[in-house]
């Protein structure tokens, strides 16, 4: 028992604890009694609920399998999808050409300078320019969709003189002369007779292979048909198999316009994928795929998961970090000490045996209790929904809950840092503080946008690192990689196999890893920087407040 | 009260300037035990003095000690100090009990302790029947009393009240005064500021007079008043027939002159105010003149100050 | 008595009338001096025989009070020096294209062509001058509106100065309209004025002729209307927020939160769910959509223009409804 008759249990710490409790509780109750707090939190809840509604709606629709390489489309409407047309070497822009339609084989030609300028026979004539003396003409023939000369109803040539010397007709046109010969200007047709090619023009002739019937394949055959083939064998860097054959093209009919290099990653092996493993022997740090290899993977397995992650990361970054963590402190934290000073109610609190420095810390603690628990509640809500509704076989995706916890905690860290900054501003400069806070808010917002859109660019990463939002977003990126290590692989796959999942837009590997590539490093750096900002700000506020004369 | 060698409040050659404006100018005081009234007109430096005592302001010169400790450097004296500031704002959304018990917890009390102490002090200031109402619904007198209650909740040895009677009606005034007198009777050191001599007179006899930031006088109010009494004084009588009354007064000993200061008004000039007051009833009754009012225009802080500063009346 | 009258400055008069001070200060009131014993006080109403100025003169005084304050605080509304500085910086940076145009008129050849292509008058630049998102609409206009409009009504509520207006022959409608107009004027001064200046100076610097003028005038007018619409919408949202706030800061932050929050949310939904419909919640995007139509450039949005028009109308209608409602119930004391 001390001289004031208090028990031994009354240590300095329990009394400190009680003071902290009292001020924190007072702050919480004060904020609770402000209408604006409820408006702000209500709007925040509405925002999260709206995003959830969109998410639930999207899940109900299911993840449509996405045709990543676009070869399931039937552009010319001939009933054969692009993939099948490619196999048969036909053009998917031309309904006249389709698998089994036969293809043209050139037999001969007349160049602009050739001496012999006539040819006779039953042929398919291509780019015929000159005078044709017909024996018969296939009036139904159409070489491609742009041919529009109607041989059943030819115009008469009305000009006098010699065609090609005295008069001309327009390209792709034909007319019948009075002697029955046909004047042609780069026309495709089929018929028997003699073609006299105009001087200094080109024509060719050939024949069509036999037509045969090919069963049109359903478009679904060309969706998700080239899955990613990776056996997990880290010793072999050459992986992947071109399941749909659009890179290997064995037994395919090649056409001139359909040509791509089959070893675009230049490792000497055609149609493979190089998976580059990091020095730790486990992490994939780069993927270099040859064109058209593994380019249309199973979306249910891959895109579904990616899109789900994109949703979580995007909501975490934009809604939680950029909206909630900037605006909640602006509304709630700026007046923590400033309002008390302005009202004069500070006198009640400061006439108690409590250090002014402690007072600031407890005030921020009270604000955090409201703002932080709100954010954690919202992230928990999101976690429950996404872990139940997300793709996969398990009933609950525990990693989702973890990731939401990470986002929630990151937001709380950001809330603390912003709270400390704004509180300090209001305290240090009661007159200008509010305006500076507004401008800092806008600045943080701009830097967050820069960080978000400039994911890959190191210049932008370093330029925008002069902001709290940058480090919060970095922390989210790092934590995502820690909790879902395969996000990096997905990100690389999205880039390598042209997956349109948005993962490469919304998430990029953390930049500040001291060149180790280790997410733990960047996470720790981010946490340290955020805590440092918070501590510095609180320290600044304390030292200013301690020497402040209060009228 | 704990035994101590130093007085509760020691102010040693303390000055405080706000830029070029002087708040307190070279004031030295030592106060210990009982109720002390700090008297002075607005701007005399009463609040500045209290804020220096409460460590809100840093002295520009000299030193301030509470229980021997500098309040600007350390918050530890506040464990034994209760402060009623002049601020009018309160947490209007809290109930009186909440307000007092929350602030009590800042002294390191547990929730239960704080609640019990709050009930106790609210009883003491006479607010127990409204303690669960919101402060926003309190009257001005109640608000002043709740401010006193929060200052008393930890049973302090020193209580500083900045204008506690300010803006209260007579009933509230009386009850607050009795609370302050009770505290003095309990042996606590109480500092009360006011700019109304009457109020202070009803609370205590020990006063400190501040004027323009300077310490003008300190000591027993009666002694100061006696000094004042020996000084030319006026008594203003309003009556229908001032001339008749004047003739009755002029022959009395303490009265050295009369003056007609307006229609229906008579000023009696005296050098001994108490003597003049003692003959007043007799003379009036004897004269049989109807009196409307009797006033002591000089019995206020203003004339006291004028006298102390050395001006004539 | 006349000296006392002179002593009674505006503040003490307010305090006497509404008890804002504690009454023991040096406040002096004419009536108290005339009181005699037994009478609480004697109030003399002197009929005023002057002629009341026409309504527009009184209203103009309110307008002037708010607008002149930007330049001089003496006798006009007080604008924080920081606010003035920010407005100046925003105005100057919105005038940067003019400097570029000027540069292009002095430089020869390729450099000039390049500058003209980048900053010269065309549909996209005219649209961008008022409605471009980065940086004008991202950081400049919302910040400007927040700073200018935030305290328009909330300050009056906080200080009780609305009583000064309502104790004069000024109706609440006039009060609201003039406050609105003066806020809109300041915004117009920065946003629309810089736009008009940009258009006219570039014509002067480039030495363009009538044909160019006739070619570009329709799109200039389209941009002008879009700019005025932007000013009107931002002002009405800001005024509504100001009228429901106790402090100018809350109104300012709330305005920024609405502009940035809706924009970001819409962006998020578009990124993840491939639909642009949420953009109708964002005042900025609704205005930008309408602006694109007015200036005649293809829209960035998938949803129909009608949605954006409705959105802007709803935002304005709701804001003005809130504003009118709040002002008509505004108390003449400090709240």
Of A513 and C240, more confident = C240
Same domain, yes or no: A440 and A309: yes
Torsion of CA C223, C227, C232, C236, to 10 degrees: 130
**Surface of A (399-438) touching C: CB under 8 A:** 431-432, 434-438
DSSP letter, residue C26: S
Residue A527's pLDDT band (boundaries 50, 70, 90)?
very high
Query: pLDDT value at position A171?
Result: 83
pLDDT average, residue stretch C80-99 = 88
* Percent of chain A clearing pLDDT 90 (strictly above): 20
Same domain, yes or no: A233 and A349: no
- Whether residues A351 and B93 touch (CB distance < 8 A) is answered with no
Q: What is the domain count for chain B?
A: 2
Do the beta carbons of residue A362 and residue A26 sit within 8 Å? no
d(CA A339, CA A366): 15
Size of chain B in residues: 313
pLDDT average, residue stretch A226-255 = 70
Parent domain of B209: 9-226
- What is the three-class DSSP state of A62? coil
Parent domain of A374: 12-64+301-546
Same domain, yes or no: B252 and B213: no
List subunits contacting chain B, requiring 3 or more Cβ pairs under 8 Å: A, C
Question: Among residues B194, B210, B226, which one ends one of the domains?
Answer: B226
d(CA C100, CA A364): 47
Radius of gyration for chain C, computed over Cα atoms and rounded to the nearest angstrom: 25
Residue B17: strand pairing partners: B22
Query: pLDDT value at position B132?
Result: 92
Same domain, yes or no: A274 and A373: no
Tokens 């400007």 map to which residue? Answer: C144
Same domain, yes or no: B55 and B184: yes
For the whole model, what pTM was predicted? 0.76
Q: What is the domain count for chain A?
A: 3
Residue B65: strand pairing partners: B10
d(CA C314, CA C307): 10
Of A526 and C274, more confident = A526
Same domain, yes or no: B130 and B184: yes
Is B117 inside a domain boundary?
A: yes
Same domain, yes or no: B197 and B304: no
CA of A352 to nearest chain B CA: how many angstroms apart?
A: 6
d(CA A416, CA C267): 26
Do the beta carbons of residue B48 and residue A542 sit within 8 Å? no
Same domain, yes or no: B198 and B275: no
Instruction: Find chain C residues with C-beta within 8 A of A505's C-beta.
Output: 271
Choose the closest CB to A549 out of B57, B78, B147: B57
Same domain, yes or no: B35 and B167: yes
Pairing of strands A203-208, A182-197: unpaired
CA of C152 to nearest chain B CA: how many angstroms apart?
A: 25
pLDDT average, residue stretch A496-510 = 78
Q: What is the CATH number of the domain that holds B105?
A: 3.40.50.300
Instruction: Establish if B195 touches chain C: CB-CB under 8 angstroms.
Output: yes
d(CA A44, CA A329): 13
Instruction: Find chain B residues with C-beta within 8 A of A547's C-beta.
Output: 58
The residue of chain B nearest to residue C23, with distances taken between CA atoms, is B167
Query: pLDDT value at position A533?
Result: 95
For the stretch A402-426, pLDDT in tens is 999 999 999 999 999 999 999 999 8
Structure tokens at A302: 């891959």
Do the beta carbons of residue A294 and residue A265 sit within 8 Å? no
Instruction: Find chain B residues with C-beta within 8 A of C37's C-beta.
Output: 238, 292-293
Instruction: Establish if A157 touches chain C: CB-CB under 8 angstroms.
Output: no
Do the beta carbons of residue A118 and residue A195 sit within 8 Å? yes
Same domain, yes or no: A421 and A507: yes
* Percent of chain A clearing pLDDT 70 (strictly above): 90
Order of strands, edge to edge, in the sheet holding B255-262?
B255-262, B265-270, B233-239, B291-295
3-state secondary structure chain B: CCCCCCCCEEEEEEEEEECCEEEEEEEEEEECCEEEEEECCCCCCHHHHHHHHCCCCCCCEEEEEECCECCCCCCHHHHHEEEECCCCCCCCCCEHHHHHHHHHHCCCCCHHHHHHHHHHHHHHCCCHHHCCCEHHHCCHHHHHHHHHHHHHCCCCCEEEECCCCCCCCHHHHHHHHHHHHHHHHCCCEEEEEECCHHHHHHHCCEEEEEECCEEEEEEEHHHHHHHHHCCCEEEEEEECCHHHHHHHHHCCCCEEEEEEEECCEEEEEECCHHHHHHHHHHHHHHHCCCEEEEECCCCCHHHHHHHHHCCCC
pLDDT average, residue stretch C152-163 = 83
d(CA C242, CA A373): 29
* Percent of chain C clearing pLDDT 90 (strictly above): 26
Tokens 């290899």 map to which residue? Answer: A293
Nearest alpha carbon to residue B69 among B158, B168, B145: B158
- Whether residues A319 and C86 touch (CB distance < 8 A) is answered with no
- Whether residues A323 and C267 touch (CB distance < 8 A) is answered with no
d(CA A261, CA A254): 13
Instruction: Find chain C residues with C-beta within 8 A of A432's C-beta.
Output: 80, 82
- Whether residues C25 and B42 touch (CB distance < 8 A) is answered with yes
CA of B225 to nearest chain C CA: how many angstroms apart?
A: 25
pLDDT average, residue stretch C42-56 = 74
Q: Which of A66-70, A88-92, A260-264, B146-150 tops mean pLDDT? A: B146-150
Instruction: Establish if A331 touches chain C: CB-CB under 8 angstroms.
Output: yes
Lowest-confidence segment of A298-302, A350-354, A478-482, B116-120 by average pLDDT: A298-302
DSSP letter, residue A226: B
Is B95 inside a domain boundary?
A: yes
Residue B219: strand pairing partners: B207
Question: Among residues B226, B254, B284, which one ends one of the domains?
Answer: B226
- What is the three-class DSSP state of A137? strand
Same domain, yes or no: B140 and B234: no
Do the beta carbons of residue C120 and residue C101 sit within 8 Å? yes
- What is the three-class DSSP state of A135? strand
A256 has a pLDDT exceeding 70: no
Question: Among residues B226, B246, B277, which one ends one of the domains?
Answer: B226
C10 has a pLDDT exceeding 50: no
Instruction: Establish if B293 touches chain C: CB-CB under 8 angstroms.
Output: yes
Same domain, yes or no: B184 and B256: no
- Whether residues B75 and A355 touch (CB distance < 8 A) is answered with yes
Nearest alpha carbon to residue A337 among A313, A362, A368: A362
The residue of chain A nearest to residue C148, with distances taken between CA atoms, is A435
Order of strands, edge to edge, in the sheet holding B158-161?
B81-84, B158-161, B189-194, B34-39, B206-211, B214-220
Same domain, yes or no: B54 and B153: yes
In chain B, what's the furthest Cα-to-Cα distance? 72
- What is the three-class DSSP state of C130? helix
Using an 8 Å CB-CB cutoff, list residues of chain A that contact chain B: 3, 10, 14-16, 18-19, 21-23, 25-26, 29-30, 33, 343-345, 347-356, 547, 549-551
Q: Which residues of chain B have pLDDT under 50?
A: 1-4, 312-313
- Whether residues C147 and A435 touch (CB distance < 8 A) is answered with yes
**Residue B5: is it exposed, middle or buried by C-beta count within 10 angstroms (0-12/13-18/19+)?**
exposed
CA of B65 to nearest chain C CA: how many angstroms apart?
A: 31
- Whether residues B94 and A19 touch (CB distance < 8 A) is answered with no
pLDDT average, residue stretch C279-288 = 92
Same domain, yes or no: A481 and A369: yes
Is B2 inside a domain boundary?
A: no
A475 has a pLDDT exceeding 90: yes
Do the beta carbons of residue C285 and residue C308 sit within 8 Å? yes
C214 has a pLDDT exceeding 80: yes
Query: pLDDT value at position C19?
Result: 38
The residue of chain C nearest to residue A444, with distances taken between CA atoms, is C139
The residue of chain B nearest to residue C26, with distances taken between CA atoms, is B42
Query: pLDDT value at position A255?
Result: 58
Is B269 inside a domain boundary?
A: yes
Mean pLDDT of all residues in chain B? Answer: 85
Structure tokens at C33: 């001096």
pLDDT average, residue stretch C299-313 = 92
Choose the closest CB to C22 out of B167, B238, B292: B167
CA of B195 to nearest chain C CA: how many angstroms apart?
A: 10
For the stretch C90-141, pLDDT in tens is 999 888 888 888 887 787 777 777 777 777 788 888 888 888 766 677 678 9
Choose the closest CB to C272 out of A36, A311, A442: A311
Same domain, yes or no: B209 and B85: yes
Same domain, yes or no: B15 and B75: yes
- CA geometry: angle at B287 spanning B282 and B289, to 5°? 110
Structure tokens at A349: 């609190």
C202 has a pLDDT exceeding 90: no
Choose the closest CB to B166 out of C22, C26, C37: C22
Question: Among residues A274, A297, A320, which one ends one of the domains?
Answer: A297
């Amino acid at each position: 028992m001390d001289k004031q008759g208090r028990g031994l249990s009354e240590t300095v710490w329990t009394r400190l604890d009680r003071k902290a409790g009292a001020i924190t509780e007072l702050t919480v109750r004060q904020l609770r009694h402000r209408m604006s707090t409820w408006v702000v939190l209500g709007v925040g809840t509405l925002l999260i609920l709206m995003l959830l509604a969109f998410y639930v709606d999207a899940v109900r629709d299911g993840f449509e399998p996405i045709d990543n390489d676009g070869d399931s489309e039937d552009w010319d409407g001939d009933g054969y999808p692009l993939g099948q047309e490619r196999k048969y070497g036909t053009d998917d822009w031309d309904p006249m050409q389709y698998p089994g339609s036969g293809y043209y084989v050139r037999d001969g030609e007349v160049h602009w300078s050739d001496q012999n300028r006539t040819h006779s026979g039953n042929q398919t004539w291509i780019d015929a320019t000159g005078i044709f003396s017909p024996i018969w003409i296939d009036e139904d023939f159409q070489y491609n969709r742009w041919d529009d000369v109607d041989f059943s109803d030819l115009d008469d040539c009305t000009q006098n003189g010699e065609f090609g010397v005295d008069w001309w007709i327009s390209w792709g046109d034909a007319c019948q002369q009075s002697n029955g010969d046909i004047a042609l200007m780069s026309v495709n047709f089929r018929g028997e007779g003699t073609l006299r090619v105009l001087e200094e023009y080109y024509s060719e002739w050939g024949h069509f292979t036999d037509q045969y019937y090919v069963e049109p394949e359903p478009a679904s055959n060309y969706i998700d048909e080239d899955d990613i083939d990776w056996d997990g064998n880290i010793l072999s860097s050459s992986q992947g198999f071109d399941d749909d054959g659009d890179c290997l093209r064995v037994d395919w009919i090649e056409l001139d316009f359909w040509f791509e290099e089959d070893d675009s990653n230049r490792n000497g092996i055609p149609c493979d994928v190089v998976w580059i493993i990091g020095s730790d022997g486990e992490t994939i740090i780069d993927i270099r795929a040859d064109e058209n290899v593994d380019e249309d993977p199973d979306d249910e397995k891959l895109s579904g998961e990616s899109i789900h992650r994109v949703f979580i990361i995007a909501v975490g970054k934009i809604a939680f970090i950029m909206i909630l963590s900037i605006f909640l402190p602006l509304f709630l934290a700026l007046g923590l000490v400033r309002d008390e000073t302005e009202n004069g109610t500070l006198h009640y609190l400061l006439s108690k045996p409590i250090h002014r420095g402690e007072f600031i810390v407890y005030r921020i603690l009270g604000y955090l209790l409201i703002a932080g628990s709100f954010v954690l509640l919202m992230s928990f809500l999101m976690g429950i929904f996404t872990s139940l509704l997300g793709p996969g076989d398990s009933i609950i995706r525990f990693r989702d809950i973890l990731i939401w916890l990470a986002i929630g905690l990151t937001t709380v860290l950001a809330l603390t840092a912003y709270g400390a900054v704004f509180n300090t501003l209001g305290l240090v400069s009661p007159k200008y503080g509010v305006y500076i806070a507004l401008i800092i808010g806008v600045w943080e917002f701009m830097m967050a946008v820069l960080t978000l859109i400039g994911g890959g660019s190191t210049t932008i990463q370093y330029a925008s690192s002069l902001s709290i939002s940058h480090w919060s977003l970095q922390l989210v990126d790092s934590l995502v990689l820690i909790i879902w290590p395969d996000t990096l692989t997905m990100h690389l796959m999205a880039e390598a196999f042209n997956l349109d999942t948005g993962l490469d837009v919304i998430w990029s590997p953390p930049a500040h890893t001291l060149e180790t590539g280790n997410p733990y490093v960047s996470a720790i750096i981010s946490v340290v920087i955020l805590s440092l900002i918070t501590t510095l700000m609180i320290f600044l506020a304390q030292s200013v407040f301690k020497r402040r004369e209060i009228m | 009260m704990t035994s101590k060698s130093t007085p509760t409040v020691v102010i040693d050659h303390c000055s405080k300037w706000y830029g070029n404006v002087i708040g307190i100018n070279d004031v030295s005081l030592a106060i210990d035990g009982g109720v002390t009234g700090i008297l002075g007109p607005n701007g005399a430096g009463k609040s500045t003095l209290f804020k220096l005592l409460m460590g809100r302001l840093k002295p520009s010169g000299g030193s301030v000690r509470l229980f021997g400790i500098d309040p600007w450097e350390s918050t530890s004296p506040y464990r034994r100090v209760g402060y009623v500031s002049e601020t009018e704002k309160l947490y209007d959304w809290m109930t009186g009990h909440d307000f007092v018990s929350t602030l009590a917890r800042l002294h390191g009390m547990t929730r239960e302790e704080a609640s019990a102490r709050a009930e106790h002090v609210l009883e003491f200031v006479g607010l127990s029947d409204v303690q669960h109402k919101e402060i926003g619904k309190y009257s001005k007198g109640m608000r002043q009393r709740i401010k006193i209650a929060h200052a008393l909740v930890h049973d302090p040895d020193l209580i500083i009240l900045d204008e506690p009677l300010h803006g209260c009606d007579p009933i509230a005034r009386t009850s607050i005064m009795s609370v302050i007198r009770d505290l003095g009777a309990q042996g606590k050191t109480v500092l009360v500021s006011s700019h109304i001599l009457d109020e202070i007179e009803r609370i205590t006899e020990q006063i400190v007079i501040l004027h323009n930031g300077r310490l003008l006088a300190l000591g027993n109010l009666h002694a100061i008043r006696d000094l004042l009494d020996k000084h030319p004084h006026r008594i203003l009588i309003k009556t229908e027939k001032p001339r008749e009354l004047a003739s009755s007064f002029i022959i009395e000993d303490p009265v050295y002159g009369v003056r007609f200061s307006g229609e229906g008004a008579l000023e009696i000039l005296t050098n001994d105010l108490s003597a003049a007051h003692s003959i007043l009833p007799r003379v009036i009754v004897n004269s049989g003149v109807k009196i409307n009012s009797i006033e002591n225009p000089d019995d206020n802080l203003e004339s006291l100050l004028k006298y102390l500063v050395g001006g004539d009346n | 008595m006349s000296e006392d009258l002179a002593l009674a400055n505006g503040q003490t008069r307010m305090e006497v009338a509404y008890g804002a001070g504690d009454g023991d200060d040096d406040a002096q009131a004419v009536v108290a001096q005339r009181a005699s014993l037994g009478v609480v006080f004697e109030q003399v109403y002197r009929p005023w025989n002057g002629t009341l100025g026409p309504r527009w003169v009184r209203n103009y005084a309110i307008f002037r009070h708010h607008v002149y304050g930007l330049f001089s605080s003496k006798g006009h509304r007080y604008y924080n020096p920081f606010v003035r500085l920010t407005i100046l910086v925003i105005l100057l940076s919105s005038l940067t294209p003019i400097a570029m145009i000027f540069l292009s008129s002095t430089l020869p050849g390729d450099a000039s062509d390049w500058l003209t292509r980048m900053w010269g008058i065309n549909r996209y630049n005219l649209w961008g001058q008022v409605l471009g998102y980065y940086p004008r609409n991202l950081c400049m206009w919302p910040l400007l509106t927040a700073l200018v409009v935030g305290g328009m009504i909330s300050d009056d509520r906080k200080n009780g100065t609305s009583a000064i207006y309502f104790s004069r022959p000024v109706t609440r409608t006039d009060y609201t309209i003039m406050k609105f107009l003066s806020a809109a004027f300041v915004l117009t001064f920065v946003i629309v004025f810089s736009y008009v200046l940009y258009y006219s100076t570039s014509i002067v610097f480039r030495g363009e002729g009538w044909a160019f003028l006739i070619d570009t005038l329709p799109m200039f007018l389209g941009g002008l209307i879009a700019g005025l619409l932007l000013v009107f919408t931002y002002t009405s949202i800001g005024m509504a927020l100001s009228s429901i706030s106790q402090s100018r800061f809350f109104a300012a932050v709330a305005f920024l939160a609405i502009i940035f929050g809706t924009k970001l949310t819409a962006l998020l939904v578009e990124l993840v769910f491939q639909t642009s419909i949420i953009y109708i919640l964002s005042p900025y995007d609704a205005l930008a959509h309408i602006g694109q139509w007015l200036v005649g450039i293809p829209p960035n949005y998938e949803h129909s223009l009608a949605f954006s028009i409705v959105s802007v109308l709803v935002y304005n209608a709701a804001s003005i409804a809130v504003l009118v409602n709040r002002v008509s119930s505004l108390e003449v004391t400090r709240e």
